[in-house]
Amino acid sequence: MTLAQRLNAIPNHERFGIGVLSGTSVDGVDVGLTRLSGTGETTTIKLLAFQTFPIPKPIRERILKNCDKHTATLPEISELNVLVAELFADCILRFLKQHRPKRVDFIASHGQTLWHNPKRERIGKFRIGSTLQVGDGSVIAHRTRILTISNFRTAEFVFGKDGAPLAPYLDFLLFRHAQKNRVLLNLGGISNLTALKANAKKEDVIYFDAGAGNVLIDKAAQRLFQKPFDRDGKLAAQGKVNQSLLRRWLKEPFYRQKPPKSTGRELFTDAYFEQLLADASGISPTDFIATLTALTAQSLVMQLERFVLPNMTLDELIVSGGGANNKTLIEMLKAAFPKSRVLKQDDLTDNPIPAKAKEAVLFAVLGHEFLSGKSASMQTPALLGTLSFPPK
C-alpha cells in the first residue's frame, strides 16, 4: 500500500484510540483506551479501559536526572528518547494482552517532558522558546505495529504560544456547564487550571499552569521523611503553617505573571527546593511541609483571585490529579472559598470519566483531532501532533 492508501485506510467516523503518558511526577505510565467520534465541540468520548503501570526505579531515576540542567547529559537524553518509547510500547503491549480490545486505530503518546522553556530567547534573527518530550513516536509505532501520534506541544510555539497546558481542550469539551461557573484544577507535579464560565465558548476559556502542584511537597516528603509523597496530607496535617515564610515564598514572580502561562520542573528544581529549606532553618519538618502545602494552596488562591474571579463567580472548584487526595491541601482550598463547592472530580454526579484517566483521555482526544485534521489548540490554528506509521 502507498502512504496515501494507508492514510485513506484510517477510519473516519469512529476511532478507537489509546492515550499514553507519564506526567511531571514521573510516578507511572498511564494508558487509556477510548472510543471517539465526531470532532470539536461535538466529539463523543467513551473510556473503555484504563491502567497505570509503574516505572522501574532505574528508569525513573534516569528521567529525573535528565530533567535538571545541572545533571542532564546529552548521551542520556538521546538514550531516553528511545528508552521511554520502549517503556511506553511495553506498557501498551501488556495493556492489550490484558484487555484484548477488538480494535485499536491509533496510539497518541505525550511522551515524557524533560524540558519546557516557554521564555523566548533571541538567537540570530530568531526568537526561540522550546519544549522537549522524549519517547520517539516511530519506535512506539514499530514496536506495537499501531499508527502513532506524538509530539503534541511543539507546533504552538510557531504561533507564539507554549504548547501547555493542553488539558483545557478536554476540560472545555467535558465539563462546561449551562448554568454553573466551574474551575477545573489538576494537581499533578505541576498544577494547571481551566476556568469555564457557564455556557463558555472556546475563546472565553481562561487557563494556565499555576505553579507547583505536588512537586515541592513530594521533595519535602522524600528529603525529610523518606516517603515518596505526603499520603493524604497526613504529614502536613501535623504541622503549623509559618505565615512569614509563606508570605515570602508567595513572592515568586511566576505567580504574578499574567496568563496564559506555563511552567515545569525547570522552575521548581532541587536547587529551588534547597533554597526553601535554607529559608526555613529552625522550623520543624512537619511545619515545613505544612507551610509548603499552604504555599501550594495560597498560590492557587492568589492566582484565582487575580486572573479568574474578576471575570466570574466560582460555583465549583473541581479537583483532579494525585494531589486531589491530599486532604490538608483540599481543606485549605475549601477554607479559602467558603461560598464555592470545592470537590474532587470523582465526586461530581455528572463526572464523565474517572479523574485518574483524564490525561490519557486528553491525549487520545488530541490524537483523534489530529487524524481529523482539526486543531485542538485553544488559541491558535496549530495542528497538534506528528504522525508515525508502523512498518508494513
Ligand X SMILES: Nc1ncnc2c1ncn2[C@@H]1O[C@H](COP(=O)(O)OP(=O)(O)O)[C@@H](O)[C@H]1O
Footprint of ligand X (CB under 6 A): 23-25, 27, 188-189, 214, 218, 229-233, 321-323, 325-326
Rounded distance, CA 107 to CA 297, Å? Answer: 35
Residue 232 interacts with which of ligand X, Mg ion, none, CB < 5 to 8 Å by class? ligand X
The smaller minimum CB distance to ligand X, of residues 232 and 331, is found at: 232
Decide: is 23 part of the binding site for Mg ion (CB under 5 A). Answer: yes
* Residues 124 and 360 sit within 8 Å (Cβ to Cβ): no
Residue 218 interacts with which of Mg ion, ligand X, none, CB < 5 to 8 Å by class? ligand X
Shortest separation between residue 282's beta carbon and ligand X, angstroms: 26
Rounded distance, CA 144 to CA 148, Å? Answer: 9
Residue 24 interacts with which of Mg ion, ligand X, none, CB < 5 to 8 Å by class? ligand X
The smaller minimum CB distance to ligand X, of residues 194 and 388, is found at: 194
Decide: is 218 part of the binding site for Mg ion (CB under 5 A). Answer: no
Angle, CA 89 vertex, CA 6 and CA 353 arms, to 5° = 90
Query: CA of 370: how far to CAs of 36, 49, 149, 378, in Å?
Result: 12, 22, 8, 14
Shortest separation between residue 238's beta carbon and Mg ion, angstroms: 26
Residue 137 interacts with which of ligand X, Mg ion, none, CB < 5 to 8 Å by class? none
Rounded distance, CA 100 to CA 283, Å? Answer: 53
Residues 127-186, interacting with Mg ion (CB under 5 A)? none
Place of cell 467535558: 174
Q: Which residue of 17, 18, 20, 25 would you call a contact of Mg ion, by CB under 5 A?
A: 25
Q: Which stretch binds Mg ion (CB under 5 A): 23-31, 125-133, 228-236, 362-370?
A: 23-31
The smaller minimum CB distance to ligand X, of residues 28 and 371, is found at: 28
Shortest separation between residue 167's beta carbon and ligand X, angstroms: 10
The smaller minimum CB distance to Mg ion, of residues 23 and 239, is found at: 23
Angle, CA 343 vertex, CA 341 and CA 344 arms, to 5° = 165
Q: Count the Cβ atoms, other than its own, within 10 Å of residue 278.
A: 8
Exposure string for 282-321, b = 16+ CB within 10 A, e = fewer: ebebbbbbbbbbbbbbbbbbbbbeebbbeebebbbbbbbb
Residue 209 interacts with which of ligand X, Mg ion, none, CB < 5 to 8 Å by class? none
**Nearest residue to ligand X on Cβ basis:** 322
Shortest separation between residue 233's beta carbon and ligand X, angstroms: 6
Decide: is 27 part of the binding site for Mg ion (CB under 5 A). Answer: yes
The smaller minimum CB distance to ligand X, of residues 171 and 218, is found at: 218
User: What's the first-to-final CA gap in the chain, in angstroms?
Assistant: 8
Shortest separation between residue 321's beta carbon and ligand X, angstroms: 4
Shortest separation between residue 351's beta carbon and ligand X, angstroms: 16
Please count the residues of this chain forming the interface with Mg ion, following the rule CB under 5 A: 3
Reply yes or no: is the peptide bond before residue 285 cis, omega within 30 of 0.
Answer: no
Compute CA 294 distance to the chain's CA centroid, rounded to the nearest angstrom.
Answer: 21
Interhelix angle 167-175/358-371, nearest 10 degrees: 100
Shortest separation between residue 31's beta carbon and ligand X, angstroms: 13
Q: 29-37 and 14-22: which strand pairing?
A: antiparallel
Rounded distance, CA 359 to CA 363, Å? Answer: 6
Shortest separation between residue 375's beta carbon and ligand X, angstroms: 24
Can you give the binding site for Mg ion, defined by CB under 5 A? 23, 25, 27
